[in-house]
């Protein structure tokens, strides 16, 4: 059986295996198009007994890149021993300040955690009984190798991958809890309650619930949660912890919208208020006195820039904010490091700034093109 050496570590893989299937269990690999060879984001350096470059690779990679050993992992098949080098495990940024909370009746008696399972990013916070935030942690959603959007992952679950998808997210949640507990100087087993929110599909995949009802019309969810589980049921280190999964509104307006509305308090206010969650799945909630209207859209990987040459998720090196100062563009880069790409919030900012400076008109026409945003990061 061929030996595939991934970042210096050897693993056995059957001949004919897609390189992406061999790499994904051992290293982070971006596959926003669901391994269809369309986005060109799963680039690796690969040498050895591998299949010849495909039509898709020749379209997305330059002759120079191919000569250097750059390949698209989703398009390459293993024919024998080979060596692969990938980017290091991506870390997500939990944006926002450390904000304490003041719950009237906390679910926990010692330590409690709040976790948001985003389609792209996982974000977690740890609190003490007084509502003080003790730690934060975040990472990319480990289900990304099965596709960047919920529809692709639902399809994978219906093809028998449901248990694997559930284990992937459960293991990563366990790692986040241990990471935060270490920051706070406590044992993760002492965490006695969690609230885990997310869109409806993410909660289905977390709990290994059959998502068939979410895959076709009339898209009527048969499980809207609002349920209490235990840490043990989700394979978490805090086995005895109470785990609350907040209620979803519908198949595509989930518990993340419900908890965002609760946290914002807009339904307790007069007048007209709007809440927008712009992410891989986008939701908008409109409150007008006593009426709440919600809708959602499948943005897919648009906000990770899957269709942009320099698009990337919100991790170190991503331009996440752009502003105009004295007629020129100024950018903020996550991790305060060299800019290597641009994430969704940066794209939205950049377009607004280009309109303001006149470099882009209302049709999207750029002059000059490409528009340089920061360093070598540009929008074509």
- Sequence ranges of the domains in the chain: 3-85, 111-264, 269-300, 308-379
Provide the whole-model pTM.
Answer: 0.72
* pLDDT band, very low/low/confident/very high, at 103 (cuts 50, 70, 90): low
Return the CATH superfamily for domain 3-85. Beta-grasp domain (3.10.20.30)
**Least confident range of 62-71, 109-118, 194-203:** 62-71
Dist CA 225 CA 245 (whole Å):
6
The pLDDT value recorded for residue 101 is 65
**Least confident range of 95-104, 191-200, 355-364:** 95-104
The pLDDT value recorded for residue 301 is 62
Angle at 62 between CA 312 and CA 43, to 5 degrees: 40
Residue with tokens 């790409």: 341
- Tell me which of 149 and 13 has the higher pLDDT: 13
Please give the mean pLDDT across all residues of the chain: 89
Tell me what the mean pLDDT of segment 119-131 comes to.
90
The CA-atom distances, in angstroms, between 184 and each of 92, 97, 121, 136 are 20, 17, 22, 10
* pLDDT band, very low/low/confident/very high, at 336 (cuts 50, 70, 90): confident
* pLDDT band, very low/low/confident/very high, at 89 (cuts 50, 70, 90): very low
The CA-atom distances, in angstroms, between 321 and each of 304, 333, 358, 366 are 14, 7, 19, 20
For the domain covering 111-264, report its CATH number. Answer: 3.30.420.480
Q: Which segments of 222-334 are extended strands (E)? A: 225-230, 242-247, 272-277, 281-288, 291-298, 318-325, 328-333
**Residue 154 pLDDT more than 90?**
yes
Tell me what the mean pLDDT of segment 338-365 comes to.
91
Segment of 22-26, 192-196, 372-376 carrying the highest mean pLDDT: 192-196
* pLDDT band, very low/low/confident/very high, at 380 (cuts 50, 70, 90): confident
Considering the chain, what percentage of its residues have pLDDT values greater than 90?
A: 62
Tell me what the mean pLDDT of segment 86-101 comes to.
58
């Amino acid at each position: 059986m061929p030996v595939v050496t991934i970042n210096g570590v050897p693993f056995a893989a059957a001949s004919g295996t897609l390189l992406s299937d061999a790499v994904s269990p051992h290293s982070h690999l971006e596959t926003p198009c669901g391994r269809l060879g369309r986005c060109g984001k799963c680039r690796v350096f690969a040498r050895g007994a591998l299949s010849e470059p495909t039509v898709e690779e020749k379209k997305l990679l330059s002759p120079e890149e191919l000569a250097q050993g750059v390949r698209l992992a989703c398009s390459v098949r293993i024919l024998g021993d080979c060596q692969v080098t990938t980017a290091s495990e991506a870390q997500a940024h939990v944006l926002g300040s450390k904000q304490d909370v003041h719950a009237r009746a906390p679910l926990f008696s010692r330590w409690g955690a709040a976790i948001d399972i985003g389609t792209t990013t996982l974000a977690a916070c740890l609190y003490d009984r007084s509502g003080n935030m003790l730690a934060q942690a975040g990472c990319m959603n480990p289900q990304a190798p099965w596709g960047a959007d919920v529809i692709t992952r639902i399809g994978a679950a219906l093809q028998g991958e449901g248990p694997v998808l559930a284990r992937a997210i459960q293991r990563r949640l366990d790692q986040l809890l241990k990471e935060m507990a270490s920051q706070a100087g406590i044992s993760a087993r002492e965490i006695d309650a969690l609230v885990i929110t997310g869109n409806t599909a993410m909660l289905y995949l977390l709990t290994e619930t059959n998502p068939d009802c979410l895959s076709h019309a009339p898209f009527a969810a048969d499980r809207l949660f609002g349920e209490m589980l235990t840490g043990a049921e989700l394979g978490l280190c805090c086995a005895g912890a109470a785990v609350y999964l907040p209620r979803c509104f519908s198949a595509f307006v989930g518990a993340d919208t419900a908890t965002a509305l609760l946290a914002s308090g807009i339904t307790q206010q007069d007048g007209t208020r709007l809440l927008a969650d712009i992410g891989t799945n986008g939701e908008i909630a409109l409150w007008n006195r006593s009426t709440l209207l919600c809708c959602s859209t499948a943005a897919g990987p648009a906000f990770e820039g899957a269709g942009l040459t320099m698009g990337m998720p919100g991790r170190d090196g991503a331009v996440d904010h752009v502003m105009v100062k004295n007629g020129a563009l100024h950018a903020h880069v996550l991790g305060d490091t060299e800019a290597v790409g641009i994430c969704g919030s940066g794209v939205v900012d950049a377009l607004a700034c280009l309109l303001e400076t006149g470099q882009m008109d209302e049709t999207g026409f750029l002059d000059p093109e490409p528009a340089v945003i920061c360093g070598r990061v540009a929008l074509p």
